[in-house]
Structure 1
Amino acid sequence: MNISVVIPTYNRAKILGKSIESVLIQTLPVDEIIVVDDFSTDQTQKVVESFKSEKVKYVVNSFKKGANGARNTGIMLAKGQYIAFQDSDDRWLPLKIAKQYQFMVENPNVDMCFCSMNLKGSKRGIVPKRKVTSEEIKTQLEKGNFISTQTIFIKKNVAKNILFDECLKRFQDWDFVLRVAKKYNIHHLNEVLVEVVVQNDSISKNINECEALETFFQKYPDLTKKHMVNKSLYNKILFHHYSMKEQTLRSFMSLSKYFLYKYFDKVLYRSVKL
């Protein structure tokens, strides 16, 4: 097998079908689609089985693992030489797999490539907004993430070596690509090949940002000392802590630093923002 697709899902029966369909209509057919159900309580199984395709495989986790655990289950079960990740609420454009696969075959030294995406209904719009050179990817990732899981096309052996951190409830894609960038070669295919619609029940909506950032920066403490954008986020965490403890002066100072670092980051690096 050449290409495996991993789709983690939890109670997304109403929209999962469109996601699977966008994989099945790719101009370059994939070899298998592994839908990993993290103990859904809706009609997810019926939706998956309605496709009547041998390529679509339905797997239920042995226990509730969260999205990261579901992706890891899919990685370990994948038989393809390459793995692409899809989310149950997003849509691939028909040429996504063909273009990424062709690039990887023609450039065997590249271990992972990602495409641009359109965040529909979001002020961010296209992410990333410009071409990101392979030489700058690692440094740019230290400032923030611009590689979402559904844009990734990666060699299976690399995905198995990295895996997703199941302790992280948010920013798991940022963590994953940071670790890939440290050891492997990444390339940006500067084309919009994925459409993303942020759902009201998405992880980013339901997990407290400050708590998630604190957990993330505990894993990457050096990032809080690099780049103004991370210094800004770190002071946002401090503001949250001091506010909870009713330490007014400290919370005010942290909030001031948060906005100050955020302002200078926006002004000084406006022209190279992703």
Structure 2
Amino acid sequence: MDISVVIPTYNRANLLPKAVKSVLEQNHQSIEIIIVDDLSTDNTKEVIASFQNEKIKYVVNSRAKGANGARNTGVLMAKGKYIAFQDSDDIWLPTKIEKQLKYMEENTEVDMCFCSLNIDDFSRVVPNRKVESEEIHAQLKRGNFISTQTIFVKAEIAKEILFDEKLMRFQDWDFCLRLSEKYKVHHIDEVLAVAEVQNDSIGKQVNQAEALKQFFDKFPDLKDENLITKSFQHFVVSHRDKKNGNMFLSNIHYAKYFSYQFIDKVFNRRNRL
């Protein structure tokens, strides 16, 4: 078995079949699929059973751990040489695993590779250009451009890094930032995955300012790292002041947030992903 595919899910019985089918239809078939159910209350179990496929391993968390905890359950169960992550509402193109495996086997010094992602709702590709290996960590200090479902990583490294189960959001940013600090990451400049943003996705449910504050509490040096993260910090402070009823200060920080974003867009156009 070459690859373990980890799919966390929670009440996505209506969407899960499409995601699982896109994994089962991969050109490369030496895989196991670990679906980790975070205590769903819908008919997820029946939907998975309907596949009747020996490649699929279905496990239910003993307690609700969130998407990060569900991914970690899958990572620790994985028996493959490499681990790839799929989300229960996204799809992979048929050549994704084949091309990422080939790249890793031909470039053995690389510890993780990722592909480009087509975000369907926004009709855009992330990242929007080739990201050279020597710039990846620095670019991650500006913001995230590596989505979980594009990651293909050596299993022993995934089991070392793991996902931070305390984070309410930005788990992929945190995972890649920590990993790229110690290990070699490469970008395959080709769209091999498609994301379909749902109304109940974490990004739409969790307050962005609160999630950014939590992220910066973990990485305090990032607050002043560059124009982008400075803008994020002003966004956080603006939200805090608004919550405290100080609309004057809130508006000032919100204006600074837009100003830093605009300046970066003008002067760092080539760096934007």
Q: TM-score range by the shorter chain?
A: over 0.9
Q: Aligned pairs, how many? A: 273
Counterpart for residue 59 of structure 1: 59
How many angstroms does 1:31 deviate by?
2.0
> 1:51 and 1:252 mapped to 2: Cα distance?
53
> 1:256 and 1:53 mapped to 2: Cα distance?
54
How many angstroms does 1:59 deviate by?
0.3
> 1:114 and 1:179 mapped to 2: Cα distance?
15
Q: SS of the counterpart of 2:28? A: coil
Counterpart for residue 49 of structure 2: 49
Counterpart for residue 97 of structure 1: 97
Counterpart for residue 236 of structure 2: 237
Taking only aligned residues, the RMSD between alpha carbons, in angstroms, comes to 0.8
Unaligned runs of 5+ in 2: none
The 4+ residue runs of structure 1 with deviation greater than 6 A are: none
How many angstroms does 1:44 deviate by?
0.4
Q: SS of the counterpart of 2:134? A: coil
> 2:4 and 2:259 mapped to 1: Cα distance?
45
> 1:225 and 1:191 mapped to 2: Cα distance?
32
Aligned residue type for 1:256: A
Aligned residue type for 1:118: N
> 1:226 and 1:233 mapped to 2: Cα distance?
11
> 2:182 and 2:196 mapped to 1: Cα distance?
31
How many angstroms does 1:46 deviate by?
0.8
Whether contact under 8 Å (1:38, 1:64) holds in the other structure is: yes
Mean alpha-carbon deviation: is it higher for 257-266 or for 243-252? 243-252
Aligned residue type for 1:133: E
Which residues of 2 match residues 218-237 of structure 1 at below 5 A?
218-237=217-236
Q: SS of the counterpart of 1:13? A: coil
1:36-94 CA distance string (max 9 Å, x none): 00000011011111111110010000110000000000000000010000000000000
1:189-235 CA distance string (max 9 Å, x none): 00000011000000000000000000000001111111101111100
Aligned residue type for 2:44: T
Whether contact under 8 Å (1:5, 1:30) holds in the other structure is: no
Which residues of 2 match residues 139-154 of structure 1 at below 5 A?
139-154=138-153
Whether contact under 8 Å (1:143, 1:229) holds in the other structure is: yes
How many angstroms does 1:249 deviate by?
3.2
Percent of residue pairs bearing the same amino acid type: 57
Aligned residue type for 1:197: E
Unaligned runs of 5+ in 1: none
Matched, 1:116 2:116: yes
1:12-50 CA distance string (max 9 Å, x none): 000100100000110111421000000000110111111
Matched, 1:176 2:175: yes
How many angstroms does 1:253 deviate by?
2.1
Matched, 1:259 2:258: yes
> 2:26 and 2:246 mapped to 1: Cα distance?
55
Matched, 1:8 2:8: yes
Counterpart for residue 189 of structure 1: 188
Q: SS of the counterpart of 1:201? A: coil
How many angstroms does 1:102 deviate by?
0.4
Which residues of 2 match residues 52-91 of structure 1 at below 5 A?
52-91=52-91
Matched, 1:210 2:202: no
Counterpart for residue 106 of structure 1: 106
